[in-house]
Amino acid sequence: MTMDPSPRDSVTGGEPDGMASAMTAVMACLRRAKLTPPLPAGSYVIPADREGEFCTIEAVPRSAWPPGVRWVVEVVHHPDVTWRWYTGQPDRPGTSEHRAERLAVVAEVLRDNGYVVTVVPRASWRPDQRALRVHHTPATP
């Protein structure tokens, strides 16, 4: 399996870990805002049953990047266990609204830290599920 771009690929032509650095910077912003806790030491996977809200970050294929940007990542917000969707179970009342409100908070924090944020649908998820496409403006290193 290959990724486009690979987290180790240079997104600017020179740095060895451009995408990884971008993902790390976005995650650090979310941690400072207490929107996602740090992973347990030695862990790279967030358990599905983890309590509390958290965010994950994924690389976005270059074909989906706006012209002139150096990198794009997708931030996925996972609500507290109470508001998560489980296969075969109906959402509790107010779930869709709660998810939208929390996603808006995540987007605001990222925008306040200089990122360009666009809300996008998640094709493989339920119809009301959204994620955030995040990048810096083309003039920003």
Q: Residues 37-59: what's their mean pLDDT? A: 72
User: What would the pLDDT profile of 69-99 be if each residue is shown by its tens digit?
Assistant: 889 999 988 887 777 777 777 878 888 888 8
Q: How confident is the model at residue 46 (pLDDT cuts 50, 70, 90)?
A: low
Q: How confident is the model over 111-137, as pLDDT tens digits?
A: 999 999 999 987 666 667 789 999 987
How would DSSP label each residue in the chain? Answer: ---SS-TTS-SSSS-TTHHHHHHHHHHHHHHHTTSSPPPPTT--S--TT-SS-EEEEEE--GGGSPTT-S--EEEEEE--GGG---TT-PPPTTHHHHHHHHHHHHHHHHHHTT-EEEEEE-TTS-TT-EEEEEE--TT--
